[in-house]
Structure 1
Amino acid sequence: MLISKLCNYFSILKTAVVILTSFLFVFTANAQYYLRGEIRDEKNNLLSNARIVLHSTGYVYSSGSRGSFGIMTAKLIDSVTVSLDGYQALSVKLETAKYHSLILKTLFTSANLQKNRLLSFTRNLKPSDRRNWTVGTETYNSLVENDFVQTEKYPETGFAINTDKASYSNVRRFLNMNTTVPPDAVRTEELLNYFNFTYIDPPRDSVFGFQSYVTECPWNKANQLLALHISARKLDPEKIPPSNLVFLIDVSGSMDMPNRLPLLKSAFTLLVNNLRDKDTISIVVYGSTIGIWLPPTSGTQKEKIRKSIEDLYPGGSTPGESGIRTAYSLAKSQFIKGGNNRVILATDGDFNVGQTSDDELEKLITLHQQSGIYLTCLGVGMGNYKDSKLEVLAKKGNGNFAYLDNEREAEKVLVKELTQTLYSVADNAFLNIDFNPNLVKNYRLIGFDNKWKALVDSVSELDGGEVGSGHSVIALFELDPAFAGGPGTNGNLANISIRYKLPNDTLQRYTTYRCPYTVTPFNMLPATYRFASSVAMFAGLLKDSKYARNYSFSDVIKLATESEDAHDAIQQEFITIIEKAKKIYGKERKKKKLL
């Protein structure tokens, strides 16, 4: 009996040991540890945005704004590789029980990094031989400034009308940092787009309204300036269609900085305040997690949406491709026929997992062009901001593109100009202008660099742009007149047409305008047009344009001050930005003279 009881006891004990051993094995296999530390340089300065690859998983992380990092791992001891432009890469084993201070050593060539970043045009360099410019790890599409075209040979030219404004706030960001602006970051048409010039109500039977002036060119008295003002119809607030919006938010490690994910959370919270009952919101995230963060939710549930936005946190790699695919799939599943179906991508553009090149992502977005789903891109950040990537995505996604450098800009884009940003009144809009060679010897389109084509190309094959409700913009042409026409000279300068489609419609439509050749003295132009001229002149100086050799920042300040709207805070801010540029570029010239 005793022996039998002992046998049962040992059997139970043996079973318990097996169960306990299995439990410990499972617990150990699934244990989560934490690698903690900071990254500094040899001078003990904290380094933010350093790239950290965790060897056990291959996931990519980034150090935060204060140089610190915290990474989850299943191992007690794991290894990482840390890299940052200008520093030697460091591979090291880390123990989870310790706080690590990692030191990155400066590369011998790092002293020359600033010189290597100087941007300039190479003499006789063909456009096809150009590559995207980089500034640090920021990337910009290379631009070839439009030159004069002989009217007799190429009387027609055209450009896509769009509502992109990203370049202006990005330029402002550089100048507020007291640094020069990369020339290819300056897109003149986007600087002009930024201002809401005096609105022209289109005729009842048209989406677009026109007004034009011909005057002397303020930077070249031998030439003339054509200012063409285009306004798109405003949607009736009561007839704005329901929206199916998918917020696609980058929550990777590189977004762990105040001007990135926290700024986006603030921006999207502002947008939520304007949601209506008939709107549907979803959130897709990509980073350490890829997937649906908030399932489709009615605009009535604002607190639920705000809470979901507030709970976002950064970490992990940047699998942008997977995020894009998930967002479009979700938008398609909730598609509203006749509604505003849109993915809003918010990121610094630094994709590093999956398809990452501009060409690969362009192909991915192009697949969804005919889906009726628009793409709005919101760029944030600095240092590794990928302007070139977001510009391509927005263009191929039949959408628009803005850069948020602060909360005021977020409010401007997503609250004050919400209908311009999110509600289209015309798709695939393309303006064609046919100049009269009897009046114009040569002409030059200002801005829209690399987007215009002469008659020898097929204008109809070029992509048009999305135009938002109530968008009002001025396009400028510098003209070399065929004769010395003075004030009051009459004639037909050019015939203008805009081809476009209405949202959710396949019918091609046209609006036309005959541009009269009536010359108005520059000082008698409405202030709006004189101010627009100052914006174009400012862009020319920042781009170091060969057409900006005859004037200075002081001249631009004078013109902008004389023509500003005293009640327009954005125009007043523009003058302070020019003044900053004058100081920054003045110092740069002094440095060059000393060298």
Structure 2
Amino acid sequence: MMVSGSNSRSQNSPLLKIAAAISLLLITVSPAFAQYYLRGEVKDEKQNTLSNAKILLHSTRYVYYSGSSGSFGILSTRQNDSVTISLEGYQPVGVRLEAGKYQTIVLKMLYSSANLQRNRLVSFTRNMHPEDRNKRTITGETYSSLVENDFVSAKKYPETGCAIHTDKASYSNIRRFLGMNTQVPPDAVRIEELLNYFSFDYTPPPADSIFGFKSYLSDCPWNTQSRLLFLHASARKIDPDKIPPTNLVFLVDVSGSMDMPNRLPLLKSAFKLLVDNLREKDTVSIVVYGSTVGVWLTPTSGIEKDKIRRSIEELYPGGSTPGESGIRTAYRLAKSQYIKGGNNRVILATDGDFNVGQTSEEELEKMITQHQQSGIYLTCLGVGMGNYKDSKLEILAKKGNGNFAYLDNEKEAEKVLVKELTQTLYTVADDAFLNVWLNPAVIKEYRLIGFDNKVNALADSLSEVEGGEVGSGHSLLAMFELVPLSQSFDWGYAKDGLAKVFLSYKLPNDSVRRVTGYTAPVAYTEFMELPECYRFATSVSMFAGLLKNSPYMRNINWNDAAIMADESHNPQDAIQKEFISMIAKAKKIYGNKKKKKQSE
């Protein structure tokens, strides 16, 4: 009885009653706190994985993102939950996810983005099919393999075209190779970028125009049977008092590979030079990627120069190179500070050696294309040697509606970011390209000098000419080598002129395409009577052709290029004087190589 009585008292104790109540409560409410795992992956229509897709969970309104492999995993209190998945350049999609079931969600690309992802040509002549070649890798550096433009029949293919852009990276990169007493990879030589480096005879366009034109027809120094046609277009200069406010995001590679004097320290010097030109209405932010990815300097007015300089000076290198994450972070920040009608731009500074996340040129091209319609430009500044990825930075700049420069020293940084600041950062025309009709009544054959295409773009039947960004006051010089139908200079019977030029472009932040035209007259000028700058430009083309070992330049040598440059250069122009010294270095490097082969 005592045992029985004891049990009875135990069952009625306050502690047991509380425990029973808690158990009942847990049984009642536990379903509300159950956690389910919703899993899946995001792909495009070609079954390529899509990273960083935005996933909105409807039950909580929380936002998640797909990982680098396109996959995701979300904890939910519901066994079934709905989400909306979106990504720039793709149609958003709403789906219902079920716990325990791995689902693949396919996003369809918007038509405009599908168009943008096609391979783009620098120049285009119909039905040209060059042989396939591979991308070149030189001691860890990568360059897109180029196919030099060949002669084509003017009667069969009278129309050709080329993109206009302000890129100048090839010139300073060549200077770096020659400064190290080494030969230049042929695919690192982009002739149009060498010509861009100089400001040839800038002439302001008419007051009511964005572009002005002029042309010259003369002899060809490397082929007596040919003629040279110079087509010169000058872009309007922005009035300094009317330069719009600027939203700049410095995206700085601070990975371990940047820990060299000609990399991060050089970039820090470059950015501090740029800070001197900032105004109160300008905004600057800094995003870094390396051992971490994040916002180093929150948006700051350009008037706070000391604060910006301190942030730049405190940058330090270390870690891997998650370039993809850095680019995405920079674009998000630029969008958050977007200035309508202003100059919104990300400036990526790196050696281009991405090794975390999306690293291939195809993946990076696809990613940057998604931001192309955002109204945010991308300027790429390349530095370094040995693992410098020229091909990646070139793709990013062109797909990001921007420009591309290579900084080999502090003087070049000052040229790009101080002396030519408006050309580098302020755009007067977007998606600009030339379409040129060459008169078959007087021209037998022609070839465009420079503007050489990448192999993969030529192999793609859907390729289109990719227009470029034109900076304030840019002076473009396009050169054609022509083979006339007659060696006589009496071409006056060609009533349609020598060539008709149509320049197509859009104004910044405008979707309307505009076209301006020019007719090049059949007017011959003796080569020695040309303005000196055009003869100097010819020496630049000869120099580039020799570096590339062009089959079209086999009748000339380094002495020919040096003499022409010396006779036509402006003694007051330090850049032109430096070019003459570069020819001398190249002659020594390439001449020594030839002698060595002969002795063997």
TM-score bracket, shorter-length normalisation? 0.7 to 0.9
Report whether the alignment pairs 1:450 with 2:445.
no
**How far apart, CA to CA, are the structure 2 residues paired with 1:458 and 1:382?**
35
Residue in 2 aligned with 1:482? Answer: 485
Shift in Å, 1:473? 2.2
Map of 1:531 onto structure 2? 536
TM (normalized to structure 1)? 0.77
- The residue aligned with 1:339 is 342
SS in 2 for 1:222: coil
Partner of 2:59: none
Aligned to 2:581: 576
- Asked whether 1:379 is paired with 2:382, we answer yes
Aligned to 2:499: 494
Q: 1:149 aligns with which of 152, 169, 172?
A: 152
> What's the offset of the Cα at 1:594?
2.2
Match of 1:138 among 128, 137, 141: 141
Q: Residues 159 and 451 of structure 1 are in contact (CA less than 8 Å); yes or no, is this contact kept in structure 2?
A: no
User: Contact 2:543 / 2:561 at 8 angstroms: preserved in 1?
Assistant: yes
User: Where does 1:80-91 land on structure 2 (aligned, <5 Å)?
Assistant: none
Relative to 1, partners in 2 of residues 1:493 and 1:457: Cα closer, same or farther, differing over 3 Å? farther
Amino acid at match of 2:353: D
Number of the residue aligned with 2:517? 512
1:297-344 deviation per Cα after TM superposition (whole angstroms, max 9, x unaligned): 000100000000000000000000000000000000000000000000
1:568 counterpart letter in structure 2: D
* 1:555 counterpart SS class: helix
Q: Which residue of 1 aligns with 2:553?
A: 548
| Alpha carbons 1:429, 1:501 under 8 Å: kept | yes
Note if contact 2:211-2:236 (Cα within 8 Å) is conserved in structure 1.
Answer: yes
Which residue in 2 is equivalent to 1:301?
A: 304
Distance in 2 (alpha carbons) for counterparts of 1:318 and 1:457: 34
- Cα contact 1:490–1:518 (8 A) shared by 2: no
Contact 2:147 2:454 in 1 (8 A): no
Give the secondary structure class of the aligned counterpart of 1:246: strand
* Aligned match of 1:421: 424
CA distance in 2, matches of 1:557, 1:131: 32
* Deviation for aligned residue 1:127: 4.7
Residue aligned with 1:432, SS? strand
Q: Which residue type is aligned with residue 165 of structure 1?
A: K
Deviation track 1:439-481 (CA, whole Å, cap 9, x = no partner) reads 1000000000017999x9889x422000000001211000000
Residue 562 of structure 1 aligns to a residue whose secondary structure is helix
Of residues 271, 274, 280, the one that matches 2:274 is 271
- Equivalent in 307, 320, 324 of residue 323 of structure 2: 320
CA distance in 2, matches of 1:564, 1:291: 47
Q: Is the 8 A contact 1:490 1:516 kept in 2?
A: no
- How far does residue 405 in structure 1 lie from its aligned partner after superposition? 0.1
Root-mean-square deviation (CA, aligned residues, Å) is 1.8
Aligned to 2:411, which of 408, 411, 424?
A: 408
Q: Which residue of 2 aligns with 1:123?
A: none
Instruction: Report the equivalent of 2:289.
Output: 286
User: 1: CA distance between counterparts of 2:530 and 2:225?
Assistant: 18
Specify the structure having the higher radius of gyration (Cα).
2
Pairing 1:48-447 to 2, within 5 Å after superposition: 127=130, 129-447=132-450
Question: Counterparts of 1:160 and 1:382 in 2: how far apart (Å)?
Answer: 28
Q: 1:488 to 1:443 in 2, by over 3 A?
A: closer
Counterpart position of 1:91 = none
Mapped partners of 2:564, 2:340: distance in 1: 48
Q: What is the TM-score of this pair, normalised by structure 2?
A: 0.77
Contact 2:287 2:295 in 1 (8 A): yes
Q: Return the offset for 1:181.
A: 0.4
Kindly state the Cα deviation for residue 230 of structure 1 after the two structures are TM-superposed: 1.0
Q: Tell me which amino acid in the other structure corresponds to 1:287.
A: G
Q: Distance in 2 between matches of 1:327 and 1:544?
A: 40
Give the distance between the partners of 1:127 and 1:218, measured in 2 at CA.
Answer: 26
Shift of 1:200: 1.1
Please state how far the C-alpha of 1:129 moved relative to its aligned partner.
3.1
| Structure 1 pair 490–424 and aligned structure 2 pair: CA distance change class (3 A) | farther
Q: Distance in 2 between matches of 1:215 and 1:542?
A: 24
Displacement, 1:396? Answer: 0.2
Q: Secondary structure at the match of 1:314?
A: coil
Deviation sequence 1:18-46 (CA, Å, 0-9, x none): xxxxxxxxxxxxxxxxxxxxxxxxxxxxx
Question: 1:490 Cα shift?
Answer: 6.3
Work out the CA distance in 1 between the residues paired with 2:175 and 2:219: 29
Instruction: Give the aligned residue type for 1:271.
Output: L
Distance in 2 between residues matched to 1:177 and 1:395, nearest whole Å? 28
Residues 514, 286 of structure 1: alpha-carbon distance in 2 compared, 3 angstrom cutoff: same
Contact 2:145–2:454 at 8 Å: present in 1 too? no
**CA deviations over 1:537-582 (Å, ceiling 9, x no partner):** 0000000000110011100010001100111110000000000100
- Runs of 5+ consecutive residues of structure 2 not aligned to the other structure: 1-128
Q: In the TM superposition, what whole-angstrom CA distance separates every residue of 1:403-456 from its partner, at most 9, and x where no partner exists?
A: 0000000000000000000000000001000011011000000000017999x9
- Code of the residue aligned with 2:525 in structure 1: it is T
Deviations 1:157-187 (A, max 9, x none): 0010000000000000000100110000000
Q: In the aligned structure 2, how far is the partner of 1:574 from the partner of 1:342?
A: 31
Q: Does the residue aligned with 1:408 lie in a helix, a strand or coil? A: helix
d(CA) in 2 for partners of 1:218 and 1:588? Answer: 25
Whole-angstrom CA distance in 2 between matches of 1:451 and 1:235: 33
1:250–1:405 Cα change, 3 Å: same
AA in 2 matched with 1:365: I
Which SS does the other structure have where 2:338 is aligned?
coil
Counterpart contact for 1:489–1:519, Cα < 8 Å: no
Contact map agreement 2:191 2:541 (CA 8 A) in 1: yes
Matched residue count: 469
- Which residue of structure 1 aligns with residue 527 of structure 2? 522
SS of the equivalent of 2:226 reads strand
Report the secondary structure of 2:175's partner residue: helix
Segments of 5+ residues of structure 1 without an aligned counterpart are: 1-125
Alignment of structure 1 residues 31-46 onto 2, 5 Å: none
Change (3 A) 1:489 1:573: farther
CA drift of 1:233 comes to: 0.4
Whether contact under 8 Å (1:131, 1:142) holds in the other structure is: yes
**Cα distance, 1:204 vs structure 2:** 1.7
Instruction: Give the match's secondary structure for 2:348.
Output: strand
Instruction: Report the CA distance shift for 1:183/1:465 in structure 2 as closer, same or farther (over 3 A).
Output: same
1:486: how far off? Answer: 2.1
What percent identity do the matched residue pairs reach? 70
Equivalent-residue separation in structure 2 for 1:381 and 1:406 (angstroms)? 10
Q: Distance in 1 between matches of 2:195 and 2:531?
A: 16
**Aligned AA for 1:325?**
R
**SS of residue matched to 2:262:** coil
Counterpart residue type for residue 218 of structure 1: P
Alpha-carbon distance change, 489 to 531 in structure 1, aligned in 2, over 3 angstroms: farther
